[in-house]
A and B are shown apart, each in its own frame.
Chain A
Amino acid sequence: MAAILDLTPENAWSALWRRLREDRAGAVSLGIVAAYLFMILFAAAGILARGWSQEVGVPYANPGFLGERPNLEAALRKKTERKGVAPDLSKVDPLAPKYSEWERRTQALRTVEPERAMTLPWGGDRWGHDVLAKAIKGSQVSIAVGVAAALCASVIGTLLGAFAGFYGRWVNDVLEWLYNVFTSIPSILLIFSLAAVLRSGPFANWFASGIWTVVIILAVTGWTGMYRLVRAEYMKHRSREYVLAAQAIGASATSRMFVHILPNVSHVILVQLSLLVVAFIKVEVILSFLGLGVPVDMVSWGTMLSEAQTELVIGKWWQLAAATVFMAIFLTAFSMLTDSLRDALDPKLR
Chain B
Amino acid sequence: MSALLSVRDLTVSFVTRRTSLEVVHGVSFEVRENATLALVGESGSGKTVSAMSILRLLPENAVVDPASRVDYAGENLLTVSSARMRALRGREISAVFQEPMSSLNPVLTVGEQVAEVLRLHRRLSVRNALERAAELFDEVGIPEPRARLRAYPHELSGGQQQRVMIAMAIANEPKLLIADEPTTALDVTVQRQVLELIARLRSRHRMSVLFISHDLGLVGELADDVVVMRDGVVRESGPVERIFRAPQDAYTRALLACRPPLDSRPRRLPVIDDFMRSAHLNTAPLERPAPGAPVVEAKHLRKEFRLRTGLFRAKSLVAVSDVSFDVARGRTVGLVGESGSGKTTVAMMVMRLVEASGGEARLEGTELLGLTAAQMLAFRRRIQIVFQNPYASLNPRRSIGRTLAEPMRIHGLGASEAERYERARTLLDRVGLPREAMERYPHEFSGGQRQRIAIARALAVEPEVLICDEPVSALDVSVQATVLNLLLDLQESLGLAYVFISHDLAVVKYMADEVLVMRAGEVVERGTPEAIFRAPQHEYTRNLLAAIPRGLRSGN
Q: List 29 A-B contacts (CB under 8 A).
A: A1-B52, A3-B62, A6-B21, A9-B440, A9-B441, A9-B444, A11-B397, A11-B399, A12-B441, A22-B17, A23-B17, A241-B387, A241-B388, A241-B389, A241-B393, A242-B392, A242-B395, A244-B393, A245-B393, A245-B454, A245-B457, A246-B406, A248-B351, A248-B353, A248-B384, A249-B460, A250-B377, A250-B407, A264-B395
Contacts of A1 in B (CB 8 A): 48-49, 52, 58-59
Cβ-based interface call for A67 (8 A): no
Task: Say yes or no: A240-B17 contact (C-beta < 8 A), given A9-B440, A9-B444, A12-B397.
Answer: no
Q: Hey, which chain A residues are within 8 Å of B52, CB to CB?
A: 1
Contact A3 to B61, CB < 8 A, known contacts A241-B387, A242-B392: yes
A244, B394: Cα distance in complex, Å: 10
The A contact surface, by secondary structure, is helix
User: A9-B444, A248-B384, A248-B385 are known contacts; what are 11 more A-B pairs with Cβ within 8 Å?
Assistant: A3-B61, A9-B440, A9-B441, A241-B387, A245-B393, A249-B380, A249-B406, A249-B407, A251-B406, A251-B410, A263-B398
Determine whether the beta carbon of B18 is less than 8 Å from that of A22.
yes
Complex Cα gap A3–B17 (Å): 13
Shortest B379–chain A CB gap in Å is 9
Tell yes or no: B70 within 8 A of A by CB: no
How far apart are the CA atoms of A5 and B460 in the complex, in Å?
32
**Cα separation A154 to B396 with both chains bound (whole Å):** 23
At the interface, yes or no: A260 with Cβ under 8 Å from chain B? yes
- B393's nearest neighbour on chain A, judged by CB, is A241
Asked whether A250 and B353 contact (CB < 8 A) given A12-B397, A241-B388, A264-B397, the answer is no
Within residues 386 to 432 of chain B, which ones have a CB less than 8 A from any CB in chain A? 387-389, 392-399, 406-407, 410-411
Whether B19 is near chain A, meaning CB under 8 Å from some CB there, is: yes
Contact B21 A242 (CB under 8 A): no
B171 within 8 A of A: no
Our pick among A241, A250, A349 for the contact of B16 (Cβ within 8 Å) is A349
Let me know if A5 and B21 touch, CB within 8 A: yes
Cβ of B410: which chain A residues have Cβ within 8 Å of it? 249-251
Any A CB within 8 A of the CB of B152: no
Q: Does A249 lie within 8 Å of B384, measured CB to CB?
A: yes
Check if A11 sits within 8 Å of B16, measured CB to CB: no
Interface hits, A1-39 → B, CB 8 Å: 1, 3, 5-6, 9, 11-12, 22-23
A240-278 interface (Cβ within 8 A of B): 240-242, 244-251, 260, 263-264
Residues of B within 8 A of A260 (CB): 395
Do B49 and A241 have beta carbons less than 8 Å apart? no
B351 to chain A, nearest CB (A): 6
Can you list, as one digit per residue, whether each of A165-197 has a CB less than 8 Å from chain B (1) or not (0)? 000000000000000000000000000000000
From residue A264, how far is it (CB to closest CB) to chain B in Å? 6
Question: A245 contacts which of B385, B397, B440 (Cβ < 8 Å)?
Answer: B385
Q: Which residues of B contact A3 (CB under 8 A)?
A: 14, 21, 23, 59, 61-62
Q: Tell me the minimal C-beta distance from A238 to chain B in angstroms.
A: 11
Minimal beta-carbon separation of B249 from chain A (angstroms): 25
B477 at the interface (CB under 8 A from A): no
Smallest distance from the beta carbon of A163 to chain B beta carbons, Å? 18
Q: Shortest distance in angstroms between A235's beta carbon and chain B's nearest beta carbon?
A: 15
Asked whether B501 is an interface residue with its Cβ less than 8 Å from the other chain, the reply is no
B461 interfacial contact with A, CB 8 Å: yes
Question: With A1-B48, A12-B397 known to touch, is A250 a contact of B380 (CB < 8 Å)?
Answer: yes
In the bound complex, residues from chain B placing their C-beta under 8 Å from that of A244 are: 353, 385, 387, 393
Q: For B394, list chain A residues within 8 Å (CB).
A: 242, 245
Q: Which residues does A use to contact B, with CB under 8 Å?
A: 1, 3, 5-6, 9, 11-12, 22-23, 240-242, 244-251, 260, 263-264, 349-350
Name the residue on A nearest B380 (C-beta).
Answer: A250
Q: How far is the CA of A93 from the CA of B13 in the complex (A)?
A: 100
A250 to chain B, nearest CB (A): 4
In the assembled complex, the Cα of A249 lies from the Cα of B16 at a distance in Å of 39
User: Which A residues are in CB contact (< 8 Å) with B399?
Assistant: 11
**Given A248-B353, A250-B377, A250-B407; A5-B392 close (CB under 8 Å):** no
Chain B contacts for A22, CB-based, 8 A: 17-18
- Residues of chain A with a CB closer than 8 A to B48's CB: 1
Using known A-B contacts A5-B21, A11-B441, A241-B387, determine if residue A247 contacts B14 with beta carbons closer than 8 Å.
Answer: no
- A166 to nearest B CB, angstroms? 14
CA distance A62 to B374 in the complex (A): 75
Bound complex: CA A250 to CA B413 (Å): 13
User: In the bound complex, what is the Cα–Cα distance between A350 and B396 (angstroms)?
Assistant: 13
Contact B21 A249 (CB under 8 A): no
Which B residues lie within 8 Å of A264 (CB)?
395-397
Give A42 Cβ to nearest chain B Cβ, in Å: 35
Bound together, the chains give a CA A264 to CA B62 distance in angstroms of: 29
Give the distance to chain B from A186, nearest Cβ to Cβ, in Å: 26
Which residues on the A side are within 8 Å of B62 (C-beta)?
A: 3
Closest residue on chain A to residue B376 by CB atoms: A250
Interface residues of B in 13-63 (CB under 8 A from A): 14, 16-19, 21, 23, 48-49, 52, 58-59, 61-62
> Known: A1-B52, A9-B440, A9-B441. Is A247-B395 also a contact (CB below 8 A)?
no
| B351 nearest in chain A by CB position | A248
Q: Which residues of B lie under 8 Å from residue A245 when comparing CB positions?
A: 385, 387, 393-394, 454, 457
Q: Which residues of A contact B389 (CB under 8 A)?
A: 241
The reply to whether B380 and A248 form a contact with Cβ atoms under 8 Å apart is yes
Q: How far is the CA of A250 from the CA of B58 in the complex (A)?
A: 45
Collect the chain B residues with CB atoms within 8 Å of residue A9's CB: 440-441, 444
Once bound together, how far apart are the Cα atoms of A245 and B441, in whole Å? 17
Scoring A11, A249, A263 by chain B CB atoms within 10 A of each residue's CB, the highest score goes to A249
Residues of A within 8 A of B353 (CB): 244, 247-248
Centre residue among A11, A241, A248 by max chain B CB count within 10 A: A248
CA distance A29 to B14 in the complex (A): 28
Question: B385–A246 contact, CB under 8 A?
Answer: no
Across the interface, do B377 and A263 meet the contact criterion of CB distance under 8 Å? Answer: no
With A and B bound together, what is the CA distance between A349 and B14 in angstroms?
A: 12
Q: How far is B444's CA from A260's CA once the two chains are assembled, in angstroms?
A: 19
CA distance A27 to B351 in the complex (A): 49
> Closest residue to A262 on the B side, CB-wise?
B397
B461 & A249 in contact (Cβ 8 Å cutoff): yes
Bound CA–CA A235/B380 (angstroms): 24
